[in-house]
Amino acid sequence: MWKPQGVDTAKFSNHQPDHPRTLVTGGAGFLGSHLCDRLLAEGHEVICMDTLLTGRRANIQHLLGHPRFTFLNHDATTPINLRRLLGFRVGVTSRESSESFRLDYLLHLASPASPKDYQRHPIHTLKLGALGTHHALGLAKAHGSVFLLASTSEVYGDPAVNPQQESYWGNVNPIGVRSVYDEAKRFAEALAMAYHREHGVEIRIARIFNTYGERMRADDGRAFPNFVVQALQGRPLTVYGDGSQTRSFCYVSDLVDGLCRLLQSQDIGPFNLGNPEEIPLLKLAQVILEVTGSPSGIVFKPLPSDDPGRRRPDISKAETTLRWHPKVHLREGIERVIPYFRSQLINARVDSPPKTGESPGIRPRRRNLLSKLEWFLRPTS
Ligand code: UDP
């Protein structure tokens, strides 16, 4: 018999009809935690499920005492019996809970999302897309919940058309290093559609393009955090290949807004959600250098295999149907996130304990680096 792996609050309240109850898998991740914030602000009762493999407790720390928030440390690849998971701790009998328990929405985000993370956890990523989505859909079916799948622009692989419309079927290498993520999400979309067709589950599919913002891990390996952190540290920005490959970067508040609109819409999708402002990676590095005022240079490194050459969402479907359009331009977004990445670097410095035998103060080798950092981490205003 499986047992819940951990319930972080005993305050799980009885469902109030005026508070929709919503489960967010991957709720402690970068996007998931912003969604939890937004759903709570809109009056939802939020159950955040995460194993903290790539998500972080720090992302939801501020929510842990909230009366409408529950954190469940549960791996979405194992079966999810929410009534028992929650009732186990709060002492609700299974009879009472099965009669009264209802889940209105289920947002399935759980998955490593950066190439570095999913290539480090390839099998788990595939299992999350397959088993995790299966369990989550089973739960949505049992509760009659609206199920929102966080899919990805990666379903288009290395696209042969630009911009990408939802009608494009993609160009994915099924055995390449990125396939563990791409194929997992493609399978998840197929499974969600099958649950809709066979069982009538109400589903919504979002294809999320590159997104950036506060709560991204400074070390998640993606271009955006890499470049900003490198610029703030005065280290050269690592551009892979010749930097002519393009991406389109969306600020997190815009993306969360798009997801919430999709949740409220009657349309299955799929919908591309992203900012159509397309930029070559070399240009992104230059803009980040300009905005941060960093004297860092740029170094070119080998292009990883199967790296998509171009990526830009055609968002006309979301504009028309969801009345959604991103508002935050790239430069403005970069300015907004700089203080966050600065604080991450300061925290990393404070948290890093000296090694045995070193003075409790700053290690000599680090002192040089830190004095350099002091300059880059200085407040700008
Ligand atoms: N990239 C880069 N330097 C880095 C990290 C990534 O030039 O330090 C490139 C990467 O090769 C890709 C693009 O930036 O072409 C976006 O990579 P990211 O990992 O952010 O996400 P992806 O869109 O590839 O999933």
Identify the DSSP state of 280: E
Gap between the Cα atoms of 165 and 113, Å rounded: 21
The amino acid occupying position 311 is R
Peptide bond into 20 cis (omega under 30): no
pLDDT the model gives residue 84: 74
Gap between the Cα atoms of 377 and 372, Å rounded: 9
pTM attached to this predicted model:
0.88
pLDDT the model gives residue 87: 63
Tokens of 105: 């929405």
Gap between the Cα atoms of 127 and 133, Å rounded: 9
Are the C-beta atoms of 220 and 164 separated by less than 8 Å?
Answer: no
**Radius of gyration of the chain, Cα coordinates, nearest whole angstrom:** 21
Residue whose C-alpha is closest to residue 278's, from 329, 322, 316: 329
* Structure-model confidence comparison of residues 323 and 91, the more confident one: 323
CB-based burial label for 74 (10 Å; 0-12, 13-18, 19+): buried
Are the C-beta atoms of 354 and 363 separated by less than 8 Å?
Answer: yes
pLDDT the model gives residue 85: 75
Pocket-testing residue among 281, 311, 312, ligand 1, by greatest number of atoms within 8 A of Cβ: 281
pLDDT the model gives residue 101: 75
Matching residue, tokens 């190439």? 115
Gap between the Cα atoms of 257 and 253, Å rounded: 6
State the pLDDT confidence band at 348, using cuts at 50, 70 and 90: confident
What separation in Å is there between the alpha carbon of 239 and the centre of ligand 1? 8
What separation in Å is there between the alpha carbon of 63 and the centre of ligand 1? 31
Residues 356-379: tens digit of each pLDDT? 433 333 344 444 444 444 434 444
Catalytic residues: 181
- 199 CB-near residues (< 8 Å, 6+ apart): 141
State the pLDDT confidence band at 83, using cuts at 50, 70 and 90: confident
Tokens of 308: 């998509």
pLDDT the model gives residue 193: 98
pLDDT the model gives residue 55: 97
Kindly report the backbone phi and psi dihedral angles of residue 23, in degrees, each rounded to the nearest multiple of 5, phi listed first. Answer: -100, 130
pLDDT the model gives residue 92: 42
What separation in Å is there between the alpha carbon of 326 and the centre of ligand 1? 22
pLDDT the model gives residue 347: 86
Residues 55-82: tens digit of each pLDDT? 999 999 999 999 999 999 999 999 988 8
Are the C-beta atoms of 128 and 80 separated by less than 8 Å?
Answer: no
Residue whose C-alpha is closest to residue 322's, from 278, 275, 266: 266
Pocket-testing residue among 30, 54, 245, 247, ligand 1, by greatest number of atoms within 8 A of Cβ: 247
| Distance, CA of 249 to chain centre | 14
Cα dist. 261→267, 285, 321, 363, 370 in Å?
Answer: 10, 32, 10, 50, 44
What separation in Å is there between the alpha carbon of 238 and the centre of ligand 1? 10
State the pLDDT confidence band at 4, using cuts at 50, 70 and 90: very low
Residue whose C-alpha is closest to residue 147's, from 78, 193, 186, 183: 193
The amino acid occupying position 308 is P
Gap between the Cα atoms of 240 and 230, Å rounded: 14
Residues 218-267: tens digit of each pLDDT? 999 999 999 999 999 999 999 999 999 999 999 999 999 999 999 999 99
Domains of the chain by start residue, with CATH:
21-211+250-276+311-327 (3.40.50.720)
Residues 163-206: tens digit of each pLDDT? 999 999 999 999 999 999 999 999 999 999 999 999 999 999 99
Matching residue, tokens 């969402």? 313
pLDDT the model gives residue 23: 97
**Ligand 1 surroundings by CB, under 6 angstroms:** 114-115, 210, 222-224, 226, 238-240, 245, 247, 281, 303-304, 307
Residue whose C-alpha is closest to residue 293's, from 186, 202, 378, 354: 378
Residues 135-150: tens digit of each pLDDT? 999 999 999 999 999 9
Are the C-beta atoms of 136 and 82 separated by less than 8 Å?
Answer: no
What does DSSP say about strands 246-248 and 278-280: parallel, antiparallel, or unpaired?
Answer: antiparallel
C-alpha torsion 255→260→261→265, nearest 10: 140
What does DSSP say about strands 211-212 and 271-273: parallel, antiparallel, or unpaired?
Answer: unpaired
Residue count of the chain, please give it. Answer: 381
Helix (H) or strand (E) holding 50: strand 45-50
State the pLDDT confidence band at 353, using cuts at 50, 70 and 90: low
Are the C-beta atoms of 184 and 157 separated by less than 8 Å?
Answer: no
Q: Which residue CA neighbors atom 18 of ligand 1 most closely?
A: 222
**Mean pLDDT, range 22-43, rounded to an integer:** 98
Residues 39-62: tens digit of each pLDDT? 999 999 999 999 999 999 999 999
Gap between the Cα atoms of 275 and 151, Å rounded: 16
Mean of the per-residue pLDDT values of the chain: 88
